Chain A
């Protein structure tokens, strides 16, 4: 065994802490497993086939998202028409 240290975002550390608390897994185990999954995925898929799971908002972007969540706009007529004709997703 060896030791590493890394600067990460506060939310990444929180995610690690929360996942460890919920699952009971040790943090070094989670980091090691996650790394193996990530590297394996990157080896098998081109970058364009990956969907980045984490999107970091700029300050202005965060403010816009927060406004829209606190006071959601009314649906547009086009969205209403679209969703009126939607079939329910399958339940697999």
Chain B
């Protein structure tokens, strides 16, 4: 089976045969990922391709962590809110390519994008919307569950938002 290449989703990429096992993720790729990216500018999708066919994708968007009440005392060691983050909102792999490490490659690619965003626009960490079946995978990478009062994903089953500081990703690359 040919090795997939990863790059930004293009309008001509063939998504019609994509089947990951969750029709909602298939529909998102086929109908909404392109317009999210190219018309509404609310998220970017990186596709894993066996050209011209998309066999996996990861969708990321810039976001921010905030808190309702900013502490009144000014502590120099506290980060300044809102905190810019890169949110990994969706990741899916075609059933024919599952079990070959492609999901891991897509996740790593998104983390590398977060490192770029840190340099160009600021980014303190990665937030991943982890499906219940993937929480242990991301926990193994060092992600911890976030307690949010709003801003949860509307995907069902509801993913768990998990956070990893960008400094940890950077340290992993430098190892």
Contact = CB atoms under 8 A, between A and B. Distances in A.
A69 B149 contact: no
A80 B28 contact: no
A51 B168 contact: no
B173 A83 contact: yes
Interface string A50-84: 11111111111110111011101111101110111
B112 A55 contact: no
A69 B153 CA distance: 23
B107 interface: yes
Contact of B146 (A54, A61, A74, A84): A61
Contact of A65 (B6, B83, B87, B140): B83
A57 B66 contact: yes
Contacts of A49: 28, 32, 36
Interface of B is mostly: mixed
Given A15-B82, A92-B8, A56 B67 contact: yes
Given A49-B28, A75-B168, A57 B104 contact: no
Nearest to A49: B32
A33 interface: no
B149 A56 contact: yes
A89 B142 CA distance: 22
Interface residues of B, number: 70
Given A51-B43, A56-B150, A83 B155 contact: no
A86 B146 contact: no
B149 A11 contact: no
Contacts of A7: none
10 contacts: A54-B150, A55-B87, A57-B148, A64-B147, A66-B78, A68-B165, A75-B169, A78-B140, A83-B173, A86-B173
Interface of B: 6-8, 24, 28, 32, 35-36, 40, 42-43, 46, 59, 61-70, 77-79, 81-83, 85, 87, 89, 104-105, 107-109, 111-113, 116, 124-125, 127, 140-142, 144, 146-156, 161, 163-165, 167-169, 171-173, 175
Shortest Cβ-Cβ A-B pairs, 8 listed:
A61-B147, A55-B151, A75-B172, A86-B108, A58-B147, A51-B61, A72-B167, A83-B172
Given A41-B42, A82-B141, 4 more contacts: A50-B154, A55-B64, A59-B69, A82-B104
